[in-house]
């Protein structure tokens, strides 16, 4: 199924049923009085997180969702039946935004999480409600209230612990293939990766994390160059970013440091919060250079970038240094998840 991370849908909650204007008619009771029941409540619409769904592709064809209306009330003080709530399943990680107001209605981050996006209308009152000491035969009943109607924009942000960032052909897909069971397409031309890929990296017994690979960025992505920055939102939920740099680019005139700075600049244009996220430097494809030259090139990149954070030298293709990298990532994630001393106390 094709990966789709944005969709627009229309939701229409059910209308309330009309109230009934009725009078009690029984033998030997000539003046039974009003007995019209209220209308039933219109059905609500809920979005519910569903495990196993990883795309919004279904919403490209099914865009309108209408919940059933409540039924009208009837005599003998019978209230109309309420509509059955409509439940729409969406992928975990879906953000729901009202198109008209740009208000974020909710963020579905867990399986089974329910989000009310359309409230059904209340049922109208029957004439029994209008009975008073001075008005014993009310002939008035109310129509049901209309249900909420909204246009919603659904945005899918993948749920991952680690996000891979870098130029096209920096080796992101090769790395995720090397450390997980994910099998994204790998080739020697730019933009081989056209949509995000997720892989579960297992480090030991009951120790694993999820890694996300997104299409590569190039300079000018914020202005639409390449595939643009439309996929950067998938890194917003990650806890650590791995910035992959090709230490031996195929273009001899390419400068890895200049390219790295361009990626960081595009990151800042997209989101200051994302740019401040913890980021590690991963120098990839070191196996393509002699050991002494690779050491020199790596040290030069770190020096020119004035990098103070963690640095790892790997080769995704040769599986060189990947195990050490994964162990360090797992340890860091466990530190992040560990309760603080204040929480323990």
Query: What does the H/E/C string look like for 188-247?
Result: CCCCCCCCCEEEEEEEECCEEEEEEECCCCCCCHHHCCCCCCCCHHHHCCCCEEEEEEEC
The answer to whether residue 143 scores a pLDDT higher than 80 is yes
Instruction: Supply the mean pLDDT for the chain.
Output: 87
Q: Predicted confidence band at 15 (pLDDT cuts at 50, 70, 90)?
A: very high
Pairing of strands 197-204, 149-156: unpaired
Per the listing, tokens 């209408």 go with: 66
287 is in an annotated binding site: yes
255 is in an annotated binding site: no
Per the listing, tokens 């196996």 go with: 287
Nearest to 238 by CA among 286, 281, 274: 274
319 is in an annotated binding site: no
292 is in an annotated binding site: no
82 is in an annotated binding site: no
What local confidence, expressed as pLDDT, does residue 1 receive? 40
How far apart are alpha carbons 211 and 238 in whole angstroms?
A: 9
Treating both helix axes as pointing N-terminal to C-terminal, what angle do 322-337 and 172-179 enclose, rounded to 10 degrees?
80
194 is in an annotated binding site: yes
Question: 3-state DSSP call for residue 122?
Answer: coil
174 is in an annotated binding site: no
Q: Per DSSP, what are the bridge partners of residue 200?
A: 210
* Per-residue tokens: 7: 């969709």
Going along the chain from its start, the domains and CATH numbers come out as 6-156 (2.70.210.12), 162-337 (3.40.50.300)
Percent of the chain scored above 70 by pLDDT? Answer: 91
107 is in an annotated binding site: no
Per the listing, tokens 């323990």 go with: 344
Mean per-residue pLDDT, 141-155: 94
208 is in an annotated binding site: no
144 is in an annotated binding site: no
What local confidence, expressed as pLDDT, does residue 191 receive? 59
- Contacts by 294-298 with C-beta closer than 8 Å and gap 24+? 294/247, 297/247, 297/248, 298/247
Question: 3-state DSSP call for residue 34?
Answer: strand
* Per-residue tokens: 333: 């994630």
Least confident of 58-62, 150-154, 231-235, 279-283: 231-235
Alpha helices in the chain (DSSP H): 172-179, 256-270, 272-275, 291-305, 322-337, 341-344
Rounded to whole angstroms, what are the CA distances from 192 to 136, 195, 216, 218, 281?
Answer: 78, 9, 9, 14, 22
What local confidence, expressed as pLDDT, does residue 193 receive? 63
Distance from CA of residue 311 to its chain's centroid? 30
The answer to whether residue 341 scores a pLDDT higher than 70 is no
Encode pLDDT of 118-138 as tens digits.
Answer: 999 999 999 999 999 889 889
What local confidence, expressed as pLDDT, does residue 248 receive? 87
Contact 10, 101 (CB under 8 A): no
243 is in an annotated binding site: no
191 is in an annotated binding site: yes
Which residues contact residue 315 at a Cβ distance below 8 angstroms, ignoring those fewer than 6 apart?
Answer: 284, 285, 286, 287, 288, 321, 322
Q: How many helices and strands (H and E) does the chain possess?
A: 6, 14
339 is in an annotated binding site: no
CA dihedral 87, 91, 94, 100 (to 10 degrees): -50
The answer to whether residue 342 scores a pLDDT higher than 80 is no
328 is in an annotated binding site: no
315 is in an annotated binding site: yes
Question: 3-state DSSP call for residue 263?
Answer: helix
204 is in an annotated binding site: no
């Amino acid at each position: 199924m094709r990966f789709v991370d944005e969709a627009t849908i229309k939701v229409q909650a059910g209308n309330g049923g009309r109230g009934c204007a009725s009078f009690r008619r029984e033998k030997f009771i000539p003046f039974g009085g009003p007995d019209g029941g209220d209308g039933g409540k219109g059905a609500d619409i809920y979005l519910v997180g569903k495990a196993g769904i990883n795309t919004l592709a279904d919403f490209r064809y099914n865009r309108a969702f209408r919940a059933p209306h409540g039924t009208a009330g009837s005599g003998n003080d019978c209230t109309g039946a309420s509509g059955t709530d409509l439940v729409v399943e969406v992928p975990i990680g879906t953000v729901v935004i009202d198109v008209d107001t740009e208000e974020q209605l909710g963020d579905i981050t867990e399986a089974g999480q329910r989000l009310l996006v359309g409230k059904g209308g209340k049922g109208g009152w029957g004439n029994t409600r209008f009975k008073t000491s001075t008005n014993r035969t009310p002939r008035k009943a109310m129509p049901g209230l209309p249900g909420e109607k909204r246009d919603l924009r659904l945005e899918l942000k993948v749920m991952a612990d680690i996000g891979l960032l870098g130029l096209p052909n920096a080796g992101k897909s090769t790395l995720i293939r090397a450390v997980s069971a994910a099998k994204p397409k790998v080739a020697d031309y730019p933009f081989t990766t056209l949509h995000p890929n997720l892989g579960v990296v297992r480090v030991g017994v009951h120790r694993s994390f999820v890694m996300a690979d997104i299409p590569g960025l190039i300079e000018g992505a914020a202005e639409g160059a390449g595939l643009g920055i439309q996929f950067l939102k998938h890194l917003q939920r990650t806890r650590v970013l791995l910035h992959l740099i090709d230490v031996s680019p195929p273009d001899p005139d390419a400068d890895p440091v200049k390219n790295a700075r361009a990626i960081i600049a595009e990151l800042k244009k997209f989101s200051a919060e994302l740019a401040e996220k913890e980021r590690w430097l991963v120098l990839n494809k070191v196996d393509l250079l002699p050991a002494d030259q690779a050491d020199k090139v790596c040290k030069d990149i770190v020096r020119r970038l004035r990098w103070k954070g963690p640095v790892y030298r790997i080769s995704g293709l040769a599986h060189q240094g990947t195990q050490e990298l994964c162990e360090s990532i797992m340890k860091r994630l466990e530190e992040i998840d560990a309760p603080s001393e204040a929480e323990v106390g």
